[in-house]
A and B are shown apart, each in its own frame.
Chain A
Amino acid sequence: MGNQFDINFMVTIALKAAIRYVPITLELALIPFVIGTILGTIIALVRLYNIKYISKILQVIVVIIKGVPVVLQLLIVYFAVLQCFDSVAKTLHLSIRAKNINSVYIGLVALSFFATAYISEAIRGALTAVKKGQYEAGYSVGLTKVQTLRQIILPQAIPVAMPMLCSNLIGLIKGSSLVFMISVTDLLNGALITANSNYKFLEAYVAAAIVYWILCIVIEKISYVLERKFYSFNGR
């Protein structure tokens, strides 16, 4: 009977372990999401207003990040830190060394790059979805650029960006599972550890999948509610 799916093990042990590590996964998804939203908005605005040179440079960076798999970004950041951090720290006379850095931080940095690139595109898309006439109307009644952006453009762009932001967050939650490559114990790794002694990997994977799925459903629901709320002016 050893080959059969052990539901009991899955529910009582693997699932429990996975749930225990939900906070780590959420941390790995939400912090890059917040950083990505802030930096992504700035990048989107720089590119929208086509600010000389900076706009071009950012565009290149975004294209590079978008063109590299997350797993590679993670590994590149990881090994870059391992190999180069010590010499940098030495020249700066810092006492901290690469081996003392928690891998979670490396994961956070790599995932933040990923989030920033994608979210900047989502927000740029939403900003360009607002018609030029809205900007012009703002200027025509004597608003400055910043006032127009704050009062007129962003309130219209945010609801447009919501579905994209939501799918970015879901992508981050799922993408964060790759931190097992740099041996961070997250939701997936937590579940897998329980299977190490008895080789019930299928049960562990399914348990992790269930938890991921529930997380994503919850986020989708929240996003939907927020979208409705922001869209109140649109009569939909």
Chain B
Amino acid sequence: MIELKGIHKAFGKNQVLKGVDIKVEKGDVVVIIGPSGSGKTTLLRCLNFLEKADDGELTIGETHVDLKHSSKQDILKVRRQTAMVFQSYNLFNNKTAIGNVMEGLVTGRKVPKKEAEEISKKVLDKVGLSDKYDFYPCHLSGGQQQRVGIARALALNPEVILFDEPTSALDPELVGDVLGVMKKVAEEGITMIVVTHEMSFAYDIASKVIFMEGGVIVEQGTPKDIFTNAKEERTKKFLKRIVPEWSYTI
């Protein structure tokens, strides 16, 4: 279980998060939607300390951290229970696909190399890249790179995988590949927190949808609640602008 309480974060004078509470149960797929600049990505990045929150509490598994007074050990402990898939993939350019997946296991968690290699091959197979083990990122397409990114996260077997707009940098044809893999991951019961603009994905996969704006959570609920039955005026307005793109395809 993951719980965030009262997360505050400002960049200079710009208050990006103004007290956000989120509770995620094991196996949940939480999708965070909202307009740009609403603090979705920052919230996700506060969760694994890529941004240091100004205030708030985080509970992840057995670990409880006061974000304001976190120690190096706390940060490492949290990071080793989470994994992240980035918008711009951020694969290690100096490592092959399998090297990317193995890195966190071998260097970070001291898993024996042989074992790490086995795990890595398994997850790469799962994301459909069994023929690309030894390819460097520069020789992979965007969709393939992002699938390596997902494999890298999966291999760590974390409490939660954080997805930061994983399909935003992909061309439309490849989006399907990545979403397919994410769906597969979700079906395995892995806890996921996903920031995305793919509304149909949110509708299909999410167990909970959170709508954020201006650094606060405006509304949250099941996909059905949010997409067809939103209570807040602001949510309706946001969805109206985006949803027609997909509503007729379902």
| A interface, CB within 8 angstroms of B | 131, 133-134, 136-144, 147, 151-152, 155-156, 233-235
**Interface pair A142/B93, CB less than 8 Å apart:** no
Closest 3 CB pairs of A and B: A141-B104, A133-B90, A142-B108
B230 to chain A, nearest CB (A): 33
Residues 52-89 of chain B, each 1 if its beta carbon lies under 8 Å from chain A, else 0: 00000000000000000000000010011011101010
Given contacts A137-B91, A142-B80, A144-B76, contact A234 B138 (CB under 8 A): yes
B243 to chain A, nearest CB (A): 31
Closest A residue to B101 by beta carbon equals A141
Q: List 21 A-B contacts (CB under 8 A).
A: A131-B90, A137-B86, A137-B91, A138-B92, A140-B50, A140-B86, A140-B90, A141-B83, A141-B153, A141-B156, A143-B103, A143-B108, A151-B103, A152-B92, A233-B93, A233-B95, A233-B96, A233-B136, A233-B138, A234-B136, A235-B139
**Interface pair B107/A147, CB less than 8 Å apart:** yes
Docked pose: A134 CA to B136 CA in angstroms: 15
Closest B residue to A136 by beta carbon equals B50
**Interface pair A155/B156, CB less than 8 Å apart:** no
Closest B residue to A232 by beta carbon equals B136
**Interface pair B93/A141, CB less than 8 Å apart:** no
Docked pose: A233 CA to B100 CA in angstroms: 12
Check B109 for interface membership: any CB of A closer than 8 A.
Answer: yes
Q: Which of chain B's residues have a CB closer than 8 A to the CB of A136?
A: 50, 84, 86, 90
A92 to chain B, nearest CB (A): 41
Given contacts A133-B88, A143-B108, contact A234 B93 (CB under 8 A): yes
Docked pose: A140 CA to B152 CA in angstroms: 10
Check B14 for interface membership: any CB of A closer than 8 A.
Answer: no
Docked pose: A40 CA to B248 CA in angstroms: 61
Supply 14 further A-B pairs (C-beta < 8 A) apart from A139-B49, A141-B103, A141-B153. A134-B92, A137-B91, A139-B50, A140-B48, A140-B90, A142-B79, A142-B108, A142-B109, A151-B103, A152-B92, A233-B95, A233-B138, A234-B138, A235-B138
Q: Which of chain A's residues have a CB closer than 8 A to the CB of B96?
A: 233
Given contacts A141-B152, A141-B156, contact A133 B108 (CB under 8 A): no
A4 to chain B, nearest CB (A): 58
A149 to chain B, nearest CB (A): 11
Q: Which of chain A's residues have a CB closer than 8 A to the CB of B139?
A: 235
Partner among A133, A134, A142, A234 whose Cβ is within 8 Å of the Cβ of B76: A142
Closest B residue to A151 by beta carbon equals B107
Q: Which of chain B's residues have a CB closer than 8 A to the CB of A142?
A: 76, 79-80, 104, 108-109, 156
Docked pose: A134 CA to B139 CA in angstroms: 17
Best-surrounded residue of B94, B95, B139, B156 (most CB of chain A within 10 A): B94
Given contacts A151-B103, A233-B136, A235-B138, contact A139 B79 (CB under 8 A): yes
B141 to chain A, nearest CB (A): 14
**Interface pair B93/A156, CB less than 8 Å apart:** yes
B223 to chain A, nearest CB (A): 27
Q: Which of chain B's residues have a CB closer than 8 A to the CB of A143?
A: 103-104, 107-108
Docked pose: A156 CA to B94 CA in angstroms: 6
Q: Which of chain B's residues have a CB closer than 8 A to the CB of A156?
A: 93-94
A91 to chain B, nearest CB (A): 43
**Interface pair B136/A140, CB less than 8 Å apart:** no
Docked pose: A143 CA to B136 CA in angstroms: 20
Docked pose: A138 CA to B48 CA in angstroms: 12
